[in-house]
Amino acid sequence: MKKFRSVFLAAAACTVALGVAPSTAQTTGQPTVPIEVWALRDTMTTVQVSPSGERLLVIKNESRDGDYLMELYDTDNLGGKPYRIAADPMEIIGAQWVSDDFIFGTAWQQNRKKVNGPEEGTYDYASFIFDVNKKKFQRVEGVFSIATLLPDEPNEILIGTGRSVGSAAEVDPFSAFRPRAYYKLNLKTGSKQLVLKGSEKYPTAVFDSQGNPRWTSGYDRASKEEVTYYRKPGDGSWTEFARYDQDDHENLYRVLSGFMGLVGFKQDDPNIGYVIDNRGEDKASLWEFDFNKGQFGEKLAGTDQADVMWIQTSSLPGDDRLVAARYPWDKRNRIWFDDQEKALYDALEAQIPNAHEVSISSRSRDGNTMIVQNRGPRDPGSFWLVKDGRMSKLGSRNPLLKAEDLSDVEFIRYPARDGKMIAGYVTKPKGEGPFPLVVLPHGGPHVNEVISYDEWGQLLANAGYMVLQPQYRMSVGWGKELFDSAYGQHGLAMQDDKDDGALYLVEQGLVDPDRIAMFGWSYGGYAALVAASRDPNIYQCVIAGAAVADPEKVYKLRSNPWTPTAIDDWAQRRGMIGINPINEVSKVNVPLLMVHGDVDARVLYFNFEDYRDAIQKAGKTDAQFLTLTGADHFYSTLMYEHQEQFYTKMLDFLANDCGPGGL
């Protein structure tokens, strides 16, 4: 971060001048909302109220080619001029209040045009402190994320090395075992004091609100086991809790799912923790854990439908009261423990239009001022201020998208051919079916996907296509049995789950069997390439974005001699054992569009180049290729020009080149 600059500017409405007007005629293949609207980066990403309730922090972008910046408002005078802060030549991508006087955040800048290897991207990152009273930035040397706030020490926070961008941490099975260092950061001086340095045995830590390290998991190379440890408050050393054999693929779900472990502490009793674990059952539940006894206590919440994956604590700052456990279904459903918090959420949901995923993202200490967010099928993301009992809308992630432009999403469950029940989300376009269908599998594949607002799904529905987002086996959140049934099934049973969802919608009379396509990104792109060579084939075309086209080559680049056997076996079965698309090019029997960023650090660009060369060598003429110059893997790196180029090409391909007469 070479320098920061800050200037006073007049407040500007959070809208984007495009010079276009939405059309009203609906023709399949042509969206009624212009592509220029869909291609926008979020115009507003963060709104937070300070702990005192006196100030408002907003991160926004006011033009399609502009950078994100911060604005500070007086909550008693939102119509007044905000204080506006940019990070030239870097761009602010995240920030939050850490006290009444300080904001901690992250900025980035794309400084390279070449990726040197896996995870070696083209962006540089920097952390910063912003002193609200002095209007002054201070760079924090290194890249950090907040480990915990320290409410009893208002001028200090606990930070840890490393960052999380997009869903990178969610799909990296080794992230939990990479050692991190933790520091107490003085917000006034910027000085850091080392608190805990991670090692191979104790790589990371979960801290309580007092800054005590309480939980960690490491890997024992000698025994090839994942080992979990805990500490009681004030302890200076770790106590071993449990071991999980990493040579046994039965333990893969625990490692790859990423959500099991310590998630919080009981209010007023730091010796009682909250742990999510399946404890021999198919579905994970929320349990009490007694640190004094070193053992589990009462099961607090569970369901036979899905894993408990998250908890929710009180919306009041400094209040660690457990108010709900959450699990995936039609949305992230809650199992409530607190009637008062439930009543508050019920009241908010009753007042916010198209309420779906409502959350209180920040709240003042006295509880009288809060920022509420909503996100759902008919709301791309809205921000609301509640102050002294009054509610007002502050802005939207995309203010040019109206509720009537968007489509409802229905949660379904359908049977796979072997009897497994698969969850799915169906976005229905306007009009009457049967519709053309786009099957849109998520990336990962070992992630949880709950559809609230999904830009790709809504864009396709706005263009007249029904969209199915299947939660195929190996998707996280639906239990160990479904996850384990995917072992060694990349391109096989995992692929069948996607096809079976499409055929289920055909049987329901919702989909035209001769108008089905698949579009996916990352692992979803891999699935699209596999779909292109299936015989018999239910698809008329496929679109493969950032696709893992040669998983064998990817595996060999990333293999490590100390990798646990089970994870190594799983990685090999992503293509070395199973279907490797680059070896199937001679079998491709439908039109294909490949899209890839040329600086993708997660799925390297060679996947695109090698597959393109192979398919051209095989004499396949129904293949098209689009490179997004300067784009990395994750959605956050897709700028306006990338999305405009991609969406234009995708919709043209579906309408004109997807099978006879287009989709």
pLDDT, tens digit (0-9, with 9 covering 90-100), for 513-529: 999 999 999 999 999 99
**Can you give the pLDDT at residue 331?**
97
What are the strands, taking DSSP E only, across 498-565? Answer: 511-521, 541-545
63: part of which helix (H) or strand (E)? none
Beta-carbon contacts of residue 489 (< 8 Å; ≥ 6 apart): 473, 474, 573, 578
**Can you give the pLDDT at residue 566?**
75
Q: For the purposes of burial, counting CB atoms within 10 Å of the CB of 350, is it exposed (0-12), middle (13-18) or buried (19 or more)?
A: exposed
What is the C-alpha to C-alpha distance for residues 524 and 498, in angstroms, rounded to an integer? 11
Beta-carbon contacts of residue 347 (< 8 Å; ≥ 6 apart): none
What is the C-alpha to C-alpha distance for residues 230 and 401, in angstroms, rounded to an integer? 48
Angle between helices 523-532 and 493-507 (to 10 degrees): 70
My answer on whether omega of the bond before 445 falls inside 30° of 0, hence cis, is yes
What is the C-alpha to C-alpha distance for residues 154 and 96, in angstroms, rounded to an integer? 14
**Can you give the pLDDT at residue 288?**
97
What is the C-alpha to C-alpha distance for residues 398 and 15, in angstroms, rounded to an integer? 8
CB 393 within 8 A of CB 411: no
Q: How far is CA 258 from CA 225, 255, 310, 539, in A?
A: 16, 6, 11, 33
**Summary count for the chain: helices (H), strands (E):** 11, 36
Look at residues 106, 131, 139, 141 and name the one whose alpha carbon lies nearest to residue 188: 131
Residues of the chain with pLDDT under 70: 1-27, 163-177, 559, 561-562, 575
**Can you give the pLDDT at residue 178?**
80
My answer on whether omega of the bond before 89 falls inside 30° of 0, hence cis, is yes
What is the C-alpha to C-alpha distance for residues 397 and 45, in angstroms, rounded to an integer? 6
Instruction: Quick: pLDDT tens for 174-192.
Output: 566 689 999 999 999 999 9
Instruction: Quick: pLDDT tens for 397-418.
Output: 999 999 999 999 999 999 999 9
Contacts 24+ apart (CB under 8 A), 132-138: 132/50, 132/55, 132/72, 132/100, 132/101, 132/102, 132/103, 133/101, 135/6, 135/83, 137/4, 137/6, 137/85, 137/87, 138/190
φ/ψ of residue 341, rounded to 5: -65, -40
Residue indicated by tokens 């971060």 = 1
Letter string b/e over residues 180-209, b meaning 16 or more CB atoms within 10 A of that residue's CB: bbbbbbebeeeebeebbebeeebbbbbbbb
β-sheet bridge partners, residue 640: none
> What is the pTM (predicted TM-score) of this model?
0.93
CB 106 within 8 A of CB 123: no
β-sheet bridge partners, residue 352: none
Residue type, 514: D
Query: HSE on the CB side for 439, CA within 13 Å?
Result: 36
My answer on whether omega of the bond before 436 falls inside 30° of 0, hence cis, is no
**Can you give the pLDDT at residue 177?**
67
- Across the beta sheet with 55-60, what order do the strands follow? 5-8, 83-86, 69-74, 55-60, 44-49
φ/ψ of residue 322, rounded to 5: -75, 125
CB atoms within 10 A of CB 464: 21
Alpha helices in 284-386 (DSSP H): 339-351
